């Protein structure tokens, strides 16, 4: 009887004792303690799709995310292999105190942006780093191409990525090496069919109009992210009002020798004063690209370094550079990096390789553009026909993180910025 009373008394004490506070938040750490950085972005995007309140903690533990502590969030994180840390009220107060007194900021994420990938039909997803990143992270996207761009289809999307397209209409000069290849013949036929359907005399004329529509998309408030040759050739197409820099490849007539002088660089977004490469025997577009990968004067790769931005005063570049690594190995593309003397004033350099800019950002009208040189952050020298990069082998890739920073960038609450 006496033992029974002791048990009852103990139960009463336990019932009356204060319970530990339940976690209010789940921290998604983005430092080296995160098991899967890339899918952490997918988890955050998923939370936004569920209309769950989320925050991006800039410069805190590699740019961590704060999500509400709900069973469905924990379940989704477990399925994706994403590391979480439970945060109670006391922990949250400590985190916010650290953020307040440091070069950090808590940025609310409002809603998942609608995403479009500009890519031709029947293209292989594994040949584009952004498409691979989205698929591995579990982020939905739509495909658009020239017909959608020409019929105002971009207005349905907040974020647009350009597949490694050649907007000069020269098919990346692949004919120098792959003339007669079935895939190149198919690409030529597909582009020519669209040009004919929309009433343009040739593919270069078509691509210049497409480039104009993309520029208008940015100016109207769109977020543009481009890699590899799309960065350089979009700018060349925008500047080529008075000259068809690809005439030699459409009707056999050599372009004018003063082609570069006749380019309208005021109409370009990022670059100015570039010398256009008009020789059909040299596989380069212009001197914007620092490495000239397919020329006899090719430059060797080094490493590129991310700049450290103030999260409180420069939140946009801070968002775009969040990472757990600051120095990353460089990687080639048809356009690998950018000569700094070809950048327009006001362009923000986010990362550089020596004296070259690797990763740049700027504003146009109500929107922004971001250019990242190179083809695949985990494939130093990607070749046509190479097997796809298996991102399951690179779940913590700092290079791919830069791509996914851009995907979540439009979700941040807009505020007046200094940059």
Euclidean distance between CA atoms 407 and 305, whole angstroms? 21
Contacts of 22 (CB under 8 A, 6+ apart): 69, 88
- Asked if 66 and 54 count as a contact pair (C-beta separation under 8 A), the reply is yes
CA angle 63, 64, 65 (to 5 degrees): 125
- Asked if 107 and 151 count as a contact pair (C-beta separation under 8 A), the reply is no
Q: What is the CATH number of domain 115-411?
A: 3.40.50.880
Structural domain boundaries in the chain: 22-109, 115-411
Would you give the DSSP letter of residue 26? E
Helix (H) or strand (E) holding 327: strand 327-329
pLDDT band at 208 (very low <50, low <70, confident <90, very high): very high
Q: Please tell me the predicted confidence (pLDDT) of residue 279.
A: 81
Segment 297-330, tens digit of pLDDT: 999 999 999 999 999 999 999 999 999 999 999 9
Hey, what long-range contacts does 171-179 have (CB within 8 A, 24 or more apart)?
A: 171/249, 172/229, 172/283, 172/334, 173/280, 173/283, 173/284, 173/294, 174/384, 175/249, 176/280, 176/281, 176/283, 177/283, 178/384
pLDDT at 18 over 50: no
Q: Please tell me the predicted confidence (pLDDT) of residue 352.
A: 96
What residues does 155 pair with on adjacent strands? none
Can you spell out the DSSP letters for 144-179?
E-HHHHHTTGGGG-SEEEE-S--TTSSGGGTHHHHT
48-62, 126-140, 161-175: range with lowest mean pLDDT:
161-175
* Longest Cα–Cα distance in the chain: 108
Contacts of 40 (CB under 8 A, 6+ apart): 28, 30, 34, 65, 80, 82, 83
Burial code (b: 16+ CB inside 10 Å, e: under 16) for 226-237 equals: bbbbbbbbbbbb
Give the pair of three-digit tokens for residue 120: 């031709």
Instruction: Write phi, then psi, for 173 (nearest 5 degrees).
Output: 55, 30
Mean pLDDT of 280-290: 88
Q: Which architecture, in CATH terms, is 22-109? A: 2-Layer Sandwich (3.30)
Which of 276, 293, 265 is CA-nearest to residue 164? Answer: 293
**Whether pTM exceeds 0.75:** yes
- Asked if 206 and 195 count as a contact pair (C-beta separation under 8 A), the reply is yes
Give me the chain's average pLDDT, please: 87
Segment 79-136, tens digit of pLDDT: 999 999 999 999 999 999 999 999 999 999 999 999 999 998 877 655 899 999 999 9
């Amino acid at each position: 009887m006496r033992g029974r009373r002791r048990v009852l008394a103990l139960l009463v004490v336990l019932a009356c004792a204060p319970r530990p506070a339940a976690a209010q938040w789940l921290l998604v750490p983005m430092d080296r303690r995160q098991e899967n950085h890339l899918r952490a972005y997918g988890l955050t995007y998923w939370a936004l799709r569920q209309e769950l309140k989320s925050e991006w903690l800039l410069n805190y533990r590699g740019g961590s995310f704060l999500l509400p502590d709900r069973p469905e969030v924990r379940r989704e994180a477990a399925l994706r292999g994403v590391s979480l840390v439970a945060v109670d009220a006391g922990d949250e107060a400590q985190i916010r105190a650290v953020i307040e007194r440091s070069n950090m900021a808590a940025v609310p994420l409002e809603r998942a942006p609608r995403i479009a990938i500009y890519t031709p039909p029947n293209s292989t997803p594994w040949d584009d780093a952004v498409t691979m990143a989205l698929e591995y992270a579990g982020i939905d996207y739509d495909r658009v191409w020239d017909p959608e761009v020409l019929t105002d289809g971009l207005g349905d999307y907040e974020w647009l990525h350009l597949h490694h397209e050649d907007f000069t209409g020269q098919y990346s000069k692949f004919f120098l090496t792959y003339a007669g290849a079935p895939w190149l013949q198919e690409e030529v036929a597909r582009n020519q069919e669209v040009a004919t359907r929309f009433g343009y005399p040739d593919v270069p004329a078509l691509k210049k109009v497409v480039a104009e529509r993309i520029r208008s998309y940015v100016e109207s408030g769109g977020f543009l992210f481009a890699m590899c040759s799309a960065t350089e050739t979009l700018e060349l197409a925008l500047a080529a009002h008075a000259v068809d820099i690809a005439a030699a490849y459409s009707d056999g007539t050599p372009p004018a020798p003063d082609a570069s002088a006749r380019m309208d660089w005021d109409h370009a977004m990022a670059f100015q004063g570039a010398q256009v490469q008009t020789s059909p025997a040299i596989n380069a577009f212009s001197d914007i690209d620092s490495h000239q990968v397919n020329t006899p004067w090719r430059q060797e790769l080094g490493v590129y370094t991310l700049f450290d931005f103030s999260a409180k005063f420069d939140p946009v570049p801070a968002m775009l550079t969040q990472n757990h690594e600051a120095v990353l190995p460089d990687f080639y593309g048809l356009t690998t990096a950018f000569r700094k003397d070809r950048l327009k004033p006001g362009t923000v350099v986010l990362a550089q390789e020596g004296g070259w800019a690797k990763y740049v950002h700027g504003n146009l009208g109500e929107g922004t553009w971001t250019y990242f040189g190179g083809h695949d952050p985990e494939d130093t020298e990607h070749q046509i026909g190479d097997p796809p990069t298996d991102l399951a082998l690179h779940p913590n890739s700092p290079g791919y993180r830069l791509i996914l920073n851009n995907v979540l960038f439009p979700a941040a609450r807009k505020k007046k910025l200094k940059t």
